[in-house]
Structure 1
Amino acid sequence: MTSTDTPPTGELRSKTVTWHDPQDTATAGRGRSGLEFLTAWLHGEVPAPPICALVNSRLVGVEAGEVVFACTPDESVYNPIGMVHGGLACTLLDSAAGCAVHSTLPAGFGYSSIEIKVSFLRPIHIHTGEILARGRVTKPGKRVAFAEADLCDANGTILATATSSCLVIPLVG
């Protein structure tokens, strides 16, 4: 029997996601340092990128070399065994580490993740509630920068950790 032979069961659910044009966000960052751009985003002066709407996350803290994202997972990010998919944790950790690097960059520069290593320590469910991803730069650089991040629940229990390296790139256009 294939999955197409099995009739669907249970209530069908849906989720609507809306976002601003990502080019507006990118354009708003062009003449600002990473810290200026992230601070403007934090204060609502720059629209969040679409990934934040998709995974229900938001930037809640910024300073040079460190950022914090908050996310309240819902069942739309569940995997087949009834837990939050590890990809959500990885996405939040990658965002936190990358934006921490971005917070150290001058105007005209951005970053791209080169690699990320994630360690999943505890399962996440919707009853876990709000989770926080904290990223911090461990070694800034002009070509490559390094950062680490952790994902915690509201009690400070660590759910996952990551180390990341980011390529520092000039922004074009």
Structure 2
Amino acid sequence: MKMSSLKKTSMLALLIMLLSQTIFAQAVKPERTSPATVAKGAINGAAVTISYSSPAVKGRKIWGELVPYDKTWRAGANEATIFETDKPLKIRGQSLPAGKYSLYAVPGEKSWKIIFNSETGQWGIKRGGETTADPAKNVLTVMAKPMKSASFNERLTYVISKSGFELLWENLAVPVNFK
């Protein structure tokens, strides 16, 4: 009788250990190949944060292939890139109210559209590969001129300065100046 009770207790303890390992294993997220990154700074006195996932070049052709020209792109990897400002900003004479926006881009060989969209929190693309951007929720669209970057950038990087921000990736720099 004691042996049967001991076996039951041992089996129950073993079962609990196996279940707890399974539960804890589910809680650990695998490391992403495009890690979450945050750029912080001030633009014309406003505190600005750009939260994005930073993909790597990994020997691929980025512009015109991995990121196609003339199609809306989430301006990063994974979730849509988030641009947040604590004060209103002026971009080329247009007003961007204080708030949180998804940042999208439409890359082109000679010019880019930079889009601030009021919907946030969505994954960056749908199953078919098209973006999740809803054009009806675009708050502001400005044009930017891409240029060759000063150096090669393996990972997508955003740099915030007092006059705006710059997207850097591969051999390209896309400055977005605020005035």
Which TM-score bucket, shorter chain as reference? Answer: 0.3 to 0.5
**TM-score under structure 1 length normalisation:** 0.33
Normalized per residue, the structure richer in helix is 1
Larger radius of gyration: 2
